[in-house]
Amino acid sequence: MGTHRRPKPPSRARIATLGMAAGAVSLLPTQSQAAPQPTLEDVRKQVETLYEEAEAPTEEYNAISEKQAKLQREVDGARDRLARKQQEVNELREKIGPLAAAQYRGGGIDPSVELFLSGDPDNYLDQAAMLDRTSSRQADALRAMQTKQRELTQERTDAQKRLKALEETRAEAAETKNEVQGKLAEARKLLNSLTAQQRARMEADQERDDASAGASDSPASYNGPASGRAKTALDFAYAQLGKPYEWGSTGPNSYDCSGLVGAAWRTAGVSLPRTVKQMYDAGRKVSKSDLQPGDIIYWYNDTQHNGMYVGNGKAIHAPRTGKNIEIVPLDSMPFFAASRP
C-alpha cells in the first residue's frame, strides 16, 4: 500500500513555518520572557494535521488486516488437512500392524517391514523388491502408507509456511497500528493541554467552519435521484449520519472512510475490496462531469480518503477521528477521481 500523505493547503504550511520559527525563538534562553504558549488556532491546526496523517496508515492497516484474515483462513484449512492426513496415516499403520504380526507368526518379521515400522519407509519399496520377501498385499499397503506419509510431510511444510506468513502480517499490523495510535495519542495530548474554555471555543469554531462549508451530520433520509442498487447503498449511508469515525472500523456503530463505503454497497449486494486503494484499482472510472449518485469519490489521491456522491454537488463520507459521518460539498476537499461499482 502506498504511503502518500495528504497535501497540505498553503495556509497550513505557512502556519507550520511560523510555528517552527516561534518554537526556535522560544528555545533561546532569556530571563525576561517565558516561552510563548501556542495559540488555539495553532493547536487546532496541529491536531487536524495529526488526524490527517493518521489516515494513510489506517488504510495500510486495513489492507494488512485483510491479508491477515485471508492467511488465518488458509492456516485453519491447512491445519484441518494436516489432521485428516495424520488420521489416514494412523489408520494405515493400524492395518499394517496385523500384517506384520502374521509375518512374525509365520517365521519372524520381514526385515523390510521392520524397517518400515521403524518410521523410515522412503527406501522401503526398493529394498523390498531387492529382497523379494514381501507379499503383494503388504507391498500395496506399504506403498499406500508411503504416499500418505509424503502427503503428510508436504501438508506440514505448507502449514508452517502459512503460519510464518501469518506471524509476519501480525507483526506488520502491530507496527502500523502503533503508528496510527501514536498520532492519535499526540492529538489527544494537545487537546488535553487546553482548558475547558479553550476546548469549547475550538468546538464552536469547528461547528462554524462546518456550517460555512455546508457540512452536516444531522440524521436524514436520502431523497435524491438515485435508483436501484445505488439508492439502496445511499439509504444505508444516510442511516449512518452522525455516527463517529473510527479508524479500522466497518460498523455498525462506527466507520472509517472505506469502511462506510464498503458497508453501504454491501447492503445493495455489491462486494467491494476493503481499502481506498483497492476500491480505486477495482472500480470503473468515471469523470467528474459524469458523476451519478452512489459513485465512489476519491479525494487527495488514490490511497487516502473516499466517500460517496449523493447528487447535487454533495457527498457523504466518514471524515476523520473526532468527527461524525457527514454530508459535505463535493469540492470541500481536492477531488481526485471517481469510480462506479
Question: Does the fold of domain 215-340 match that of domain 36-213?
Answer: no
pLDDT at residue 2, as a whole number: 47
Share above pLDDT 90 across residues of the chain, in percent, rounded to a whole number: 53
Whether 305 sits among the annotated catalytic residues: the reply is: yes
Whether 159 sits among the annotated catalytic residues: the reply is: no
Residue boundaries of the structural domains of the chain:
36-213, 215-340
Asked if pLDDT for residue 128 goes beyond 60, the answer is no
Cα 114 from Cα 127, distance rounded (Å): 12
pLDDT at residue 170, as a whole number: 93
pLDDT in tens, 72-99: 999 999 889 889 888 888 888 887 776 6
- pTM for the full predicted model: 0.68
Q: How far is CA 162 from the centre of its chain?
A: 18
Annotated catalytic residue within 162, 177, 274, 317: 317
pLDDT in tens, 147-190: 888 888 888 998 899 999 999 999 999 999 999 999 999 999 99
For domain 215-340, give the fold: endopeptidase fold (from Nostoc punctiforme) (3.90.1720)
Annotated catalytic residue within 44, 45, 183, 305: 305
Instruction: Please compute Rg for the chain using Cα positions.
Output: 32
Whether 4 sits among the annotated catalytic residues: the reply is: no
Averaged pLDDT for residues 127-151: 69
Closest CA to 149 of 79, 75, 91: 91
Closest CA to 175 of 61, 253, 80: 61
Asked if pLDDT for residue 29 goes beyond 60, the answer is no
| Sign of the dihedral defined by the CA atoms of residues 188, 191, 194, 200, in that order | negative
In this structure, the number of other CB atoms found within 10 A of the CB of residue 78 comes to 19
| Sign of the dihedral defined by the CA atoms of residues 148, 150, 153, 159, in that order | negative
Q: Could you give the count of Cα atoms lying within 13 Å of 139 in the half-sphere of its Cβ?
A: 12
Annotated catalytic residue within 75, 115, 241, 257: 257
pLDDT in tens, 221-232: 999 999 999 999
Cα diameter, the chain? 108
Pick the CATH number of 36-213 from 1.10.1060, 1.20.1250, 3.40.50, 1.10.287: 1.10.287
- The amino acid that residue 89 corresponds to is V
pLDDT in tens, 260-274: 999 999 999 999 999
pLDDT-based confidence at residue 146 (cuts at 50, 70, 90): confident
Cα 252 from Cα 263, distance rounded (Å): 9
